[in-house]
Amino acid sequence: MATERVLFIAKAQNLKYYNSHLNRIYFGNEFCQRLIPSSQEVDQVMDFAQEHALSFSLVTPYVTNEGLEQWRSVIEHVAARNPRSEVIFNDWGVFRIIRDSVQGLQPVLGRLMTKIKRGPRLMKVIDKLPPDALKHLQSTNLDVEAYRSFLVHQGITRAELDYPLQDIKTDRISSSIHLSLYIPFVYVTTTRFCLSASCDVPEKKGMVGIFPCKKECQKYTFTLDNPVMDTSLIRKGNTIFYRNTKIPQSEELKEKKIDRVVIQPEIPI
């Protein structure tokens, strides 16, 4: 089976990155319930996908109860337009909406739900680790057979993966779960406490607190450097990333049982 190639965008304006080698569009965000797309934006992206014969996937974040209801309307809108769409979920509450309230949508386990060591600090000691320790750091919770069985029983047959610096091993993941790999940005950690809020207010310099959200994440990106890491971290809104410049080739994808590559031309926030 040929590898599916996906464009992942968080803004409709980033449809400009589309090219004819792509098979699908991911639209939405994984990290903040406030960055909810309007129905007009969803329609714009879904119209584009239809015009270019592309499959469509809605990407959703972890949520509060309030956020769950707001995203419910988006999910229902997508279902009304194209009930064969995927929904990538990063919150079990969102999954319950897909399972219990909306017919036809295909749930996909988001990368926030796939557990693996992501931080780049361990690359300083990677060569000193015993083989079993390295194997553990390259594995995910998808290695657990009981967990995979649970997912399949729930109708979840695809899971999303980051591509961390230490590499990722998927040999123990059975063919019952299809795998997607995100490149080049790797998510490290996220929180509801957004350090970008009020970052451009001079009188709040050095202050830490919960400030009103003005979507500063849409204007500012911060680079974080530390001598214990060879790779710079990128802070965008409430989430930390880094860029893995290694791009796996076709044979490596086949070996890892990856049948979908998710391309992020920009950090999807």
Is the confidence at residue 242, as pLDDT, over 90? yes
Record the tokens describing residue 79, joined without a space.
Answer: 């279902």
Give residue 66's pLDDT.
Answer: 93
- Span 56-61, mean pLDDT? 98
Name the residue among 94, 86, 132, 135 with its Cα closest to residue 113. 94
- Span 167-176, mean pLDDT? 93
Is the confidence at residue 190, as pLDDT, over 80? yes
Q: Which of 58-62, 92-96, 118-122 has the lowest mean pLDDT?
A: 118-122
What is the rounded CA–CA span in Å between residue 183 and residue 180? Answer: 10
Within a 10 A sphere around the Cβ of 41, how many other Cβ atoms? 16
Give residue 1's pLDDT.
Answer: 62
- Span 132-137, mean pLDDT? 93
Confidence of residue 204 (pLDDT cuts 50, 70, 90): confident
Confidence of residue 202 (pLDDT cuts 50, 70, 90): confident
Q: Which of 43-47, 53-57, 229-233, 256-260 has the lowest mean pLDDT?
A: 229-233
Give residue 32's pLDDT.
Answer: 95
Is the confidence at residue 210, as pLDDT, over 80? no
What is the rounded CA–CA span in Å between residue 37 and residue 179? Answer: 26
Confidence of residue 243 (pLDDT cuts 50, 70, 90): very high
Global pTM value? 0.94
Give residue 160's pLDDT.
Answer: 98
- Residue-averaged pLDDT of the chain: 94
Is the confidence at residue 209, as pLDDT, over 80? no
Is the confidence at residue 218, as pLDDT, over 70? yes
- Span 106-119, mean pLDDT? 96
Neighbouring-strand partners of residue 159: 109, 179
Name the residue among 251, 254, 259, 222 with its Cα closest to residue 238. 222
Per the CB < 8 A criterion, the answer to whether 97 and 69 are in contact is no
Confidence of residue 206 (pLDDT cuts 50, 70, 90): confident
Task: Kindly state the greatest CA–CA separation across the chain.
Answer: 57
- Domains by residue range for the chain, with CATH: 4-187+243-263 (3.20.20.380)
What distance lies between CA 4 and its chain's CA centroid?
16
Confidence of residue 87 (pLDDT cuts 50, 70, 90): very high
Is the confidence at residue 207, as pLDDT, over 80? no
Give residue 150's pLDDT.
Answer: 97
